[in-house]
Amino acid sequence: MRIGFIGLGIMGRPMAGHLVRAGHEVKGYDLKEVAFGGRFATSVADAVRDAEVVITMLPADPQVEAVFPDIVANAPADALYIDFSTITPQTSRRLAEQRKRTLDAPVSGGEKGAVDGVLSIMVGGSEEDFQAALPIFEAVGKTYRLVGGPGAGQFVKAANQLVVGGTYALLAEAIVLMEAAGVDAEAGLDVLAGGLAGSRILELKRRSMLARDFTPGFRIDLHHKDMGIILDAARTAEVFVPMGALTAQLIAAARAQGYGSLDHSALLKVVEGLSR
Ligand code: NAD
């Protein structure tokens, strides 16, 4: 398929690379020139003209809203539009109201999941558009499900980020506790990873956290944005998420302390600071 791909950052670049390797003709665009294996376009308009599928993988609502008018104006009207960005459900719904064949398809799996082409993808939109998007999802993901109409993918992503943020906060507390007690935290985390406390986060991140290597990954700034989406989604659904609210405050503190551009595992620095 002919694909226009906007946003070639930590996630978008490897995803666009997988689409090229799967045999698609990909024109990519970002504010700064990026080598991804396909052709780099000169503008959003250049990337999406003649596209059968338009993809965005941008930081947040303002960036998606900024490029959307260019997509509407320049992409063929029947092109399928897949927004992989994590944004508010309300914005996803608004885009779907303004343009037919629009899917919200936020992802989970982190940079490693994008590089390995094994992302989890939660999709909101119509069954027909979901079916049409399967070759794209197959190239970048491993688990993909249609979870409801427009915006539904973003609600599932909010649930995902609730669990991810909370898990990091508790893992940070576990590390601080073990280190303060003078036990072998590395061996301790190996045992945790093999038991009921085990998780993908523990598996992928325990070594870098112990080494205080907070190279992103997923930036604190982006998780802060996601915590806002979660609290807003909870208000909309009229449910109480006290653990989520606490995690949101810890992530806000990480940002306020200047860690916004570090990986979200840098929550450890905040938790550590509270015990010093
Ligand atoms: P990123 O900041 O690395 O990449 C975003 C890219 O968009 C940047 O290269 C930026 O230059 C580009 N961009 C911004 N405005 C633009 C515009 N107007 N036109 C063209 N390009 C523009 O962010 P990321 O980590 O790749 O995350 C992208 C999205 O995926 C976010 O919504 C994030 O929440 C979500 N996400 C990230 C991860 C992760 O681990 N990094 C995991 C799952 C989901």
Nearest atom of ligand 1 to the alpha carbon of 8: 9
Single-letter amino acid, residue 231: L
**Contact indicator for 253, 224 with CB cutoff of 8 Å:** no
CA of 137 to the centre of ligand 1 (A): 18
CA of 266 to the centre of ligand 1 (A): 19
Single-letter amino acid, residue 275: S
CATH 3.40.50.720 segments of the chain: 2-149
Which is catalytic among the residues 27, 157, 225, 269? 157
**Contact indicator for 29, 47 with CB cutoff of 8 Å:** yes
Q: Write out the two tokens for 122.
A: 């939660």
Could you read off the pLDDT tens digit of each residue along the chain, which spans 276 residues? Answer: 999 999 999 999 999 999 999 999 999 999 999 999 999 999 999 999 999 999 999 999 999 999 999 999 999 999 999 999 999 999 999 999 999 999 999 999 999 999 999 999 999 999 999 999 999 999 999 999 999 999 999 999 999 999 999 999 999 999 999 999 999 999 999 999 999 999 999 999 999 999 999 999 999 999 999 999 999 999 999 999 999 999 999 999 999 999 999 999 999 999 999 998
Nearest atom of ligand 1 to the alpha carbon of 106: 44
User: In Å, what is the CA distance from 98 to each residue of 7, 93, 101, 209, 249?
Assistant: 21, 9, 10, 43, 35
Q: Write out the two tokens for 116.
A: 């390995």
Q: Is 110 in the pocket of ligand 1 (CB under 6 A)?
A: yes
The CATH architecture one would assign to domain 2-149 is: 3-Layer(aba) Sandwich (3.40)
Angle between helices 89-98 and 220-237 (to 10 degrees): 80
CATH 1.10.1040.10 segments of the chain: 155-275
**Fold designation for 155-275:** N-(1-d-carboxylethyl)-l-norvaline Dehydrogenase; domain 2 (1.10.1040)
CA of 207 to the centre of ligand 1 (A): 25
